Amino acid sequence: MPDSRRTRPMPNALFELTEGYSQVLALLDQSVAMRRVVDEVPDLTGVDVAWVGEPDGEDRLVLGHTVNARTPAVDGLVVPTGCGLGGQVMLRRSPLWVSDYRRSDTITHHFNAQAEIEGLGAMIAVPVVHEGRLLGVLYGSNRETSPFGDRTAESLQKAASRAAAAAVVAERARHAAEIAVHEERRRLALELHDTVGAMLFSIGAGIRTLTGELPAGDAVYARLTELEEQAVQAAAALRVSLHALHAPPEEVALGVALRGHCRAFQERTGVIARLIIVTEVPGLPPATIKALADATREALLNVEKHARARSVVVSVFTHSGGVCVTIADDGVGLPPGDRPPGGLGLATMAERLERVGGEAQVGRNEDGGVSVQAWVPT
């Protein structure tokens, strides 16, 4: 008689593990949490296409995570406040819709070309808001030009409410995780100080005792002196590491901000973005950190729009009495005439840096791509 247990289907453990991981990730990552809601919008509301605009600073959205799109025309678009449908929603903090996006006289038409490429007709957008704070804008669009019914508007508003709740849960979970990480780093620093630090002190003291019992010309005396110096150097290196582990949040604020922009860029584009801190960076005032972080964000947006790069390296180091952040890509490089793309964005970046005494430079790099360098004084 055959063993029936061998014919019974086994649970797909890998699938269950992946699903579980995705749920945990959604609890920690605000963008992932938001996008999980966007995935369901077409089925919930009946629209043909859906996407989300996520705030990038206080005055613009970056569009992404399109569902049922035919082209990449929408992904990566930067929508300033007041421009297009989403820009109006940012201003009014209320739902808006148009039956014919490309011909409506109630919005600007900065993005008609992208709407035509994607074949978008009617469009609706609702704000994702929590306690007065804009967390994003949720979009839906149909291929045809026709008015939206109350059911569609109500369904999209319910989806926006779910997106806001998911984003807030993710934000709070991430904040709690960051606190836990900082506390664990502090605990580890104290433990290393009490164990390895104490051990190095004992080794140094023991060597000094031995050398005191030997004549100065003795060969063993010379060797012990070398070992004592090595122990002193090891203790100094340990103190630097313990300081980094135990550093208060303000001393790592720049690295945290830059890592966040690199992560967001990589999630939007799939292009690898690495952050390398070359030298120890001194603490900087909040306004200076914001200027460097905003410059990095703007440079990464230019890479996304123009470079067609395979990778980006963001490096941080001290230079000429200040701190320098360099954003280098391996893309197609500068256009003929070496005039950098981006126009207003790069000009705004330079103005923000100048307000804190800094400056920006753009040029070709050894990989054939573009390097943007932002420098501020310390």
Kindly report the CATH number assigned to the domain that includes residue 103: 3.30.450.40
Whole-number Cα distances in Å, 358 to 257, 287, 297, 313, 349: 18, 12, 16, 21, 10
Q: How far apart are CA 100 and CA 217, in angstroms?
A: 94
Q: How far apart are CA 218 and CA 255, in angstroms?
A: 50
Q: How far apart are CA 363 and CA 338, in angstroms?
A: 8
Looking at residue 251, its pLDDT comes to 65
Looking at residue 200, its pLDDT comes to 86
Q: In the chain, which stretches have pLDDT less than 50?
A: 1-11, 14, 17-22, 24-26
Looking at residue 337, its pLDDT comes to 61
pLDDT digit string, tens, across residues 123-165: 999 999 988 889 999 999 999 998 998 889 999 999 999 888 8
Looking at residue 28, its pLDDT comes to 56
Kindly report the CATH number assigned to the domain that includes residue 346: 3.30.565.10
Q: How far apart are CA 199 and CA 191, in angstroms?
A: 12
pLDDT digit string, tens, across residues 92-106: 999 999 999 999 999
Q: Are residues 84 and 43 in the same domain?
A: yes
Q: Are residues 109 and 50 in the same domain?
A: yes
Looking at residue 121, its pLDDT comes to 96
Looking at residue 118, its pLDDT comes to 95
How many structural domains compose the chain? 3
Establish if 9 belongs to a structural domain.
Answer: no
Instruction: Find the domain containing 365 and state its range.
Output: 250-377
